[in-house]
Structures are given as structure tokens and as C-alpha cells.
Amino acid sequence: MRRTRVLVIDDDARFGESAVQRLAEMGFEARFHRGPLGFLQAIRDMRCDLVLLDVNMPKLDGSSVIRMIRDSIGLGEVRVLLCSNMEANVLARMARALGAHGAVPKDVTDEAFVAELRAALQRRSFV
């Protein structure tokens, strides 16, 4: 049985590497891509099921990245879960506005993290 593939896109290497380790411990196949540059090729190379996307990166913000994923790959092909240090309700509103599949603050517990990841994999979009 194939493990769910998650690509972590973040400009913070410390968070990205710890998220990959955290996801691996929870049974996911995970990789880290630092920053937004080259992220479309990273998505294609990994053939990921879900992108865990930091929405506050320099050079390309979350809305631009989601638009590029939608236009190049399709949000039906890959799910996008926004991730940030923002307050949960602000992040959730942003996810709804951008058409992402969910949102999760960076500091949530492992249980909440995996629950939101699994929910995002099931959603057509964040409603």
C-alpha cells in the first residue's frame, strides 16, 4: 500500500525539515522544498498527494503559489494545505478565499496536524 506523499514548501529550513520528520513519524512519505522557486517541478517530481504550503514566503506569496498550482497542475490533482504561524481563524479564512483544501497553524499538536492533513486529502476544496 502506497503511503500518502506530502511536499512541504517553506522558506524556513528548520520548520521544513522538522515537518518532514514529523510527517514520516506519522506514516507519510514527505519531502522538503525550500522556498517557492522551483516548487512546480518539485511537485511534479514527487507526484505528491498534498502540498503543505507556507503562505508567508518572500518572492511568491501563498495566493500566487496556489494560483500557479491550479493553473499548471490542477487543485484536483494535488491538495493544498496552508500552514503558517498566523492565528487559526485568520489562516482558515485565507484558505477558503484562496480555494485551498485546508489550513493548519505550525504550532498544533501532532494529533491536530494529522487530522487536518487527512481532512484536506478528503476535501474538494476548503469550504
The per-residue DSSP string of 9-64 comes to EES-HHHHHHHHHHHHHTT-EEEEEESSTTHHHHHHHHT-SEEEEES--SSS-HHH
Helix axes 62-72, 39-46, angle to 10 degrees: 50
Provide the whole-model pTM: 0.91
pLDDT tens, position by position, 6-62? 999 999 999 999 999 999 999 999 999 998 889 999 999 999 999 999 988 888 777
The pLDDT value given to residue 75: 67
The Cα 36–Cα 45 span in angstroms is: 15
* pLDDT above 70 for 90: yes
End-to-end CA distance of the chain: give it in Å, rounded: 30
The residue-averaged pLDDT of 56-74 equals 83
Domains of the chain by start residue, with CATH: 5-122 (3.40.50.2300)
For the four alpha carbons of 8, 74, 89 and 55, in that order, the dihedral sign comes to positive
Residues 6+ apart with CB under 8 A from 71: none
* pLDDT above 60 for 126: no
